[in-house]
Amino acid sequence: MIVLGIETSCDETAAAVVTGQRQILSNEVLSQLDEHRPYGGVVPEIAARAHLDAIDHIIARAMATANVTYPELDAIAATGGPGLIGGVLVGVMTAKAIAAVHQKPFIGVNHLEGHALTVRLTGDADNNEVEFPYLLLLVSGGHCQLLIVEAAGAYRRLGTTIDDALGEAFDKSAKMLGLGYPGGPALEKWAMDGDPIRFDLPRPLKGRAGCDFSFSGLKTKVRQTIENLPAGPVTDRDKADICAAFQNAAGDVLIDRCNNAIDLFLAAHPAGRHLVVAGGVAANQSIRSRLAALCKARKLSFAAPPLDLCTDNAAMIAWAGLERLKAGDVDDLSFRPRPRWPLDPDAAPAIGGGVKA
Amino acid sequence: MKILALDTATTACSVAACRDGKTLASAHELMVRGQSEALIPMVLAVLAQARMEVRDFDLIAVTRGPGAFTGLRIGLAAARGLALASGVPCCGISTTQAIAEAARRVESDRQPIIVALDSKRSDIYIQAFDPHGIAVCEPQAIAVTDLRQRIDGLALTGAAGPVAVVGDAATRALALLPDGYYRSSAPDVPDARDVASVAAQLHATGQQLPAPIPLYLRPADAALPKNGGRLRP
């Protein structure tokens, strides 16, 4: 089976061709970093325009690199939400049009499911297939949740952020320090040389029952810390120390929440073996190594996609499409894109979480 | 010349399959939203009725604006996707020209025509055409305070008689204009049949067809943060 995947839900225009044998035949990603950099964040209308400008060229390149023709495809999958609706529409309409011309199934993929199932494509550290069920920490600029992945399409949410996503807190803290765009990776770089204990930052919800997250208080304290520095320019030392303190605090919260989630996961699935991390923040090396250490302590196997498949990409959308296609779960061409689309529809929306919950 | 035409630029959704000036099959529905759901099934229904496939066409034509940004992207992404997957060339037709094409049929006296479209802002999208249907200006966004002066500057009224105004902002525009302009009874929204007709006429002139790229007429709304969002120097 061969599926073309298309991703346009945030600031990457991406297309990829993936096979049912876990082969990525092509994986094209065009980032819009330059378009959004002056604004210090993703501007929805600029993103939507850039997606339309690029999408057909990116798809043509993915098909050419994969050396696959449209009739050889078994389905066309596109991110159908959640995300910035202007961009999602561009990808969905292009995918539907291709599906219509070649009478192929169209699959509107949940972007979060793309992240959630990526390890099934890439395998664990030893390249073994990751079997259901597994515990998933999904942590990106738009989302921060802990879920049990029971099967493709079957998710049980254990906890979610009640305010900001962690990636958002990374980006905004970096922005307040003027570290450049995108902020998350810049903050990680600065944190490497920093002293994590010079500044005292809070660990919201740490030690409390449950698996929910909260990061707005941490973000506010970063702001106050910067404002309370002695007069004059912020020194490189200050920047590095604030970054290290932030990353350390965020990591403490993640570990605490994951620990609770592991208890719940193992209670529900005593034979469960994997903790999986996915989403853009999963590219952070400090957080990755702390999660790997937690897994070792809890005798679980740690699985994380390679860095380029943690951030937004279309290979994960093609793969999620493949899993849906195998299950016979395809969409009609009247599919309606969904700006909000929780993985676990039974979970109550978290107060304050907005679309992130 | 076989043309497959689409429109989702304003408050309608339409598809037409045309050959040599004749409509083989077409569909048109008024809708404020929902074009992303309706468009491709409508394309398939029109193709089935015309007993054709996308690759049977010589050209795909789509409205490229002005119009609602989301609507423009729905139509353009679909048209470009159809073109990419079929190898059929694709062109973009201005929304105002497609609306003027229908108005020319209604205004049998062959009046000059102004198409006025709602921008959802304080300005109005305008394009004007002479009695032969030739555009006398590019589609543009005009502030209501400048509208009268700008239209006067086009010198449309005169020997040809009163000027017909059409489009979903026609009533708004007429309230700002002096005598010599009247509301056309032609439809205020585009129809894909007219998109195909304009494309066929452009093709017949031998000139290069306009690319299927959006005509937004306004930059993206975005405010630059002070100091790039940095709190301190």
Say if residue A190 is in the same domain as residue A108. no
Residue A125 domain-assigned? no
By CB neighbour count within 10 A (0-12 exposed, 13-18 middle, 19+ buried), where does B211 fall? exposed
Looking at chain B from residue 136 to 155, which residues have their Cβ under 8 Å from any Cβ of chain A?
none
- A302 forms bridges with which residues in the sheet? A275
What confidence category does residue A303 fall into, taking pLDDT thresholds of 50, 70 and 90?
very high
Say if residue A215 is in the same domain as residue A266. yes
Choose the final residue of a domain: A287, A307, A327: A307
Question: Are the beta carbons of A52 and B227 separated by less than 8 Å?
Answer: no
User: Any idea which residue has 């919260």 for tokens?
Assistant: A253
Say if residue A167 is in the same domain as residue A254. yes
Looking at chain A from residue 90 to 119, which residues have their Cβ under 8 Å from any Cβ of chain B?
90-98, 100-102
pLDDT tens digit at each of 233 positions of chain B: 999 999 999 999 999 999 999 999 999 999 999 999 999 999 999 999 999 999 999 999 999 999 999 999 999 999 999 999 999 999 999 999 999 999 998 887 778 999 999 999 999 999 999 888 889 999 999 999 999 999 988 888 766 678 999 999 999 999 999 988 999 999 999 999 999 999 999 999 998 999 999 999 999 988 888 887 888 87
Say if residue A138 is in the same domain as residue A254. yes
Q: Is A347 on the interface with B (CB under 8 A)?
A: no
Q: Using alpha carbons, select from A256, A257, A280, A307 the residue that is nearest to residue A167.
A: A280
Residue A126 domain-assigned? no
Question: Pick from A89, A227, A332: which is nearest to B77 by CB?
Answer: A89
User: Any idea which residue has 């229904």 for tokens?
Assistant: B45
Say if residue A247 is in the same domain as residue A347. no
Question: Pick from B81, B223, B229: which is nearest to A94 by CB?
Answer: B81
Cβ pair A172, A160 in contact under 8 A: no
Question: Are the beta carbons of B78 and A55 separated by less than 8 Å?
Answer: no
Q: If you write DSSP's letter for every residue of A171-201 in order, what string do you get?
A: HHHHHHHT--SSHHHHHHHHHTTS-TTSS--
What pLDDT, on the 0 to 100 scale, is given for residue B201? 95
Say if residue A154 is in the same domain as residue A299. yes
pTM above 0.80, yes or no: yes
Say if residue A63 is in the same domain as residue A188. no
Question: Are the beta carbons of B43 and A52 separated by less than 8 Å?
Answer: no
Which among A35, A43, A52, A228 is the top mutation candidate for probing chain B, defined by the most B β-carbons within 10 Å of its own β-carbon?
A: A52
Say if residue A275 is in the same domain as residue A264. yes
- For residue A215 the two structure tokens come to 């990061």
Mean pLDDT confidence for A290-297:
97
Nearest CA in chain A to B52: A101
Start-to-end CA span in chain B (Å): 63
| Domain span holding position A322 | 2-116+308-356
Nearest CA in chain A to B227: A178
- B165 forms bridges with which residues in the sheet? B114, B183
Q: Using alpha carbons, select from B32, B222, B14 the residue that is nearest to residue B118.
A: B32
Residue A124 domain-assigned? no
User: Any idea which residue has 């940095």 for tokens?
Assistant: B230
Residue A123 domain-assigned? no
Question: With 80 as the cut, is the pLDDT of residue A351 above it?
Answer: no
Say if residue A352 is in the same domain as residue A281. no
Q: Exposure string (b/e) for A119-140, b if CB count within 10 Å is 16 or more?
A: bbbbebeeeeebeebbbbbbbb
Greater confidence (A155 vs A350) lies with: A155
Residue A75 domain-assigned? yes
Instruction: Name the CA radius of gyration of chain B, rounded.
Output: 19
**Which residues of chain B lie closer than 8 angstroms to A102, CB-CB?**
85
Nearest CA in chain A to B226: A39
Question: With 90 as the cut, is the pLDDT of residue A41 above it?
Answer: no
What helix, strand, coil percent values describe chain B, rounded to 5? 35, 25, 40
Looking at chain B from residue 189 to 218, which residues have their Cβ under 8 Å from any Cβ of chain A?
213-214, 216
- For residue B138 the two structure tokens come to 């590019």
In chain A, % of residues over pLDDT 70: 98
Say if residue A196 is in the same domain as residue A280. yes
What pLDDT, on the 0 to 100 scale, is given for residue B221? 86
Say if residue A52 is in the same domain as residue A111. yes
Q: Report the CATH number that the domain containing residue A221 is assigned in CATH.
A: 3.30.420.40
Say if residue A322 is in the same domain as residue A273. no
Q: How many domains does chain A have?
A: 2
Nearest CA in chain A to B225: A39
Q: Which amino acid is at B63?
A: T
pLDDT digit string (tens) for A48-85? 999 999 999 999 999 999 999 999 999 999 999 999 99
Q: Cβ–Cβ contacts within 10 Å for residue B51, how many? A: 10
Task: Answer whether the bond into residue A182 is a cis peptide, omega within 30°.
Answer: yes
Provide the 3-class DSSP secondary structure of residue A39: helix
DSSP letter (8 states) at residue A127: S
What pLDDT, on the 0 to 100 scale, is given for residue B229? 81
Question: With 90 as the cut, is the pLDDT of residue A125 above it?
Answer: no
What pLDDT, on the 0 to 100 scale, is given for residue A355? 54
Question: Are the beta carbons of A178 and B227 separated by less than 8 Å?
Answer: yes
Q: Cβ–Cβ contacts within 10 Å for residue A112, how many? A: 28
Residue A19 domain-assigned? yes
Residue A128 domain-assigned? no
Q: If you write DSSP's letter for every residue of A80-112 in order, what string do you get?
A: EESS-HHHHHHHHHHHHHHHHHHT--EEEEEHH
Residue A222 domain-assigned? yes
Cβ pair A91, A18 in contact under 8 A: no
